[in-house]
Structure 1
């Protein structure tokens, strides 16, 4: 009986679990929801407040390097992420990759920021 109850609860939780994505907007807004549909310029997201359409141009861009387990290095901006996957907009296309498929991500800063960091390190070392 316990086995049947456990199996039922596991099945229900698996069916009800959602892959929530987090979107950070240029104005500081943070939108969490499930992607319903997508076209070239808009994401349609189901949130706790209802269905929201997000212009892709309004999403905050931050460039990252993703070091994949197979040796590939992807460079692009992180569009959205969840507990299990991340959406990357690279020059060669848009990728939805699972978090277990890469082992390292590094933000890409401008040269000015790197020089500032090196200066601070040089002073304190």
Structure 2
């Protein structure tokens, strides 16, 4: 697919036909070998239609959409949200325990609600 998309082209029918044809939509569709004898040779039929590689690629993309839809139906995204919430609760619990063990002064405890969220936002990659 990538080679076809990178612009490989096939020449037009004749010398006076300066146009080129892209292989994603133009190519050999039938080859007939007439063997030996008076009318020997090979006949090739060309036509404009989507490449088989493009057809397969499009079918794979459509299949991916179906698989993703089914995964969402199965609750994968909801489960990921629940896991993230649980991880957040674990981190918050650990921070509370650490702060309790430090025996902070009242002045230090007053700063906790400002300092801890600011550093967690930085950790998450959002602005302070």
- TM-score of the superposed pair, with normalisation by structure 1: 0.22
Which structure has the highest strand share of the two? 1
**Structure with more helix by fraction:** 2
TM-score, scaled to structure 2: 0.21
Larger Rg: 2
